[in-house]
Amino acid sequence: MAGNNTYIVEEITRLLGSPVSAEDFLTLLNVYPSFKIPFIVDETRKFLNYFSTYLRGEEFQRRIFEIIQISYEICDLVDNMPDVLVKTTFVNLLELYLDYSNLERKDEMLNYLTLSFDSLAPGPKILNLCLLVEPVLKSEKYITDQTKFAEFEVVYAPMTSTEIRLKNEVDKWIKSQKLDPTRQDFLMHQLSGILGGLAIKFDVNTGTEAYKELEIECREMLNMQLTVLSLMSEMGDEDLSPQPLA
């Protein structure tokens, strides 16, 4: 990696703080051709400028790193990375807020917030989301849930080469489909058939916990693609290219 890119990666990991090392971040970039990495690194650095002082909290840093991971996984075209980063942030943080809010009609609130934020430029949009979720990340319920999760987290063995190949085949299948949020049930049903066929092809035991975990991950891959697609259609053609905060 060229010297300037190395400097930007160091700046990114500094902004993301202790939860993320340079090695963690560089691992995410391994799937991309080397000539695309400078663009991805630079756009990620610009994206982080949106969060201003909110990136000082460790829990916020960890969650934003997870958003970057998801964005890298679901982005089909590298040139779309700026838009995908912002829209994945919107989905992730809004979902977090609604999960921990004491609202009875969350669907109505989701529609209200989507319409309210739709008129905002990307920077103000993300800062307003940060205002919403900051109390959540400091709440006793959230902290308790995270503590319990850490105590009971199951550590799985790294995926085997066969599991990686199966997941890659699913990824190719998803990208070849005509994705439409209104066809979610149909696509999920199709995915079940695809997974069954791939399990036979690669001689994978469908009765194992490892396969069940893999099945969940594949469904999440499809669901995330549909969620982002739905959000993009709601936001229209708004230009979400990151610009540094003044």
The secondary structure of residue 203, as a DSSP letter, is T
* pLDDT value at residue 240: 40
In this prediction the pTM is 0.62
Q: Do the beta carbons of residue 39 and residue 77 sit within 8 Å?
A: no
Per-residue pLDDT of the chain (246 residues; tens, 9 = 90+): 555 667 788 888 888 886 677 787 888 887 788 888 889 989 999 999 888 788 878 888 888 988 998 888 778 788 889 988 988 888 888 888 888 877 666 667 777 777 777 777 888 888 888 888 888 888 888 888 777 665 544 444 455 677 778 888 888 888 788 888 888 889 999 999 999 999 898 888 888 888 888 888 888 888 877 776 666 565 554 444 434 433
* pLDDT value at residue 244: 41
Spatial CA neighbour of 80 closest among 33, 40, 124, 125:
40
Stated as kind and residue range, the H or E segment containing 151 is helix 140-152
* pLDDT value at residue 180: 83
Q: Which residues contact 82 (CB under 8 A, 6 or more apart)?
A: 43, 46, 47, 240, 241, 242
* pLDDT value at residue 242: 39
